[in-house]
Amino acid sequence: MKVALVVCLTLAVARGAAAEQRSIPSFRRDVMAVLSHSGCNMGTCHGNARGKGGLKLSLRGDDPEGDYATLTRELASRRVNVSEPDASLLLLKPTMQVAHQGGQRWNVDSFEYSILRRWIAAGLPDDPTNAISVRSLSVEPRDVLLSGDQQTV
């Protein structure tokens, strides 16, 4: 009976650790997607050749490695606060808890805020070098001809 209980507890802890690991957002897949979807790395905002408000990101997220270094290391890492994630400028500015020239991008209870907060609280992990990535994209059918209200493939 004790052996079965120990095995069940061990499995529960292992499953909990695996679920916690999955809940940590990927920088390239999740964090970069939030920044792009919110317009942060567009030419009219921080993707501008000079950036805005002291933050310069790559245009449309073209350089995730550079953006990772910018967010986590520039300005003595003041944009992110691992020990107190809610005090991070990366969360305070787009929620207008601190003045933000770009206006409010999302709310504190939003999915976007949650992704960035969980990433910061997890210690700003970068994606492993062997992370799954898109190598190519193809669209089928390659040629489509539209004529009036008819479509020919």
Q: What is the pLDDT of residues 31-85, one digit of tens each?
A: 999 999 999 999 888 888 888 888 899 999 999 999 999 999 887 667 999 999 9
Q: Does the pLDDT at position 131 exceed 80?
A: no
**Residue 6: predicted pLDDT:** 42
Task: Answer whether 61's CB lies under 8 Å from 67's CB.
Answer: yes
Q: Quick one: 128 exposed, middle or buried, by C-beta within 10 A (0-12, 13-18, 19+)?
A: exposed
Q: Looking at residue 76, what is its pLDDT?
A: 67
Report d(CA 38, CA 64) in Å as an integer. 16
Average pLDDT over residues 125-140: 83
Mean pLDDT of 106-122: 96
pLDDT at 5 over 60: no
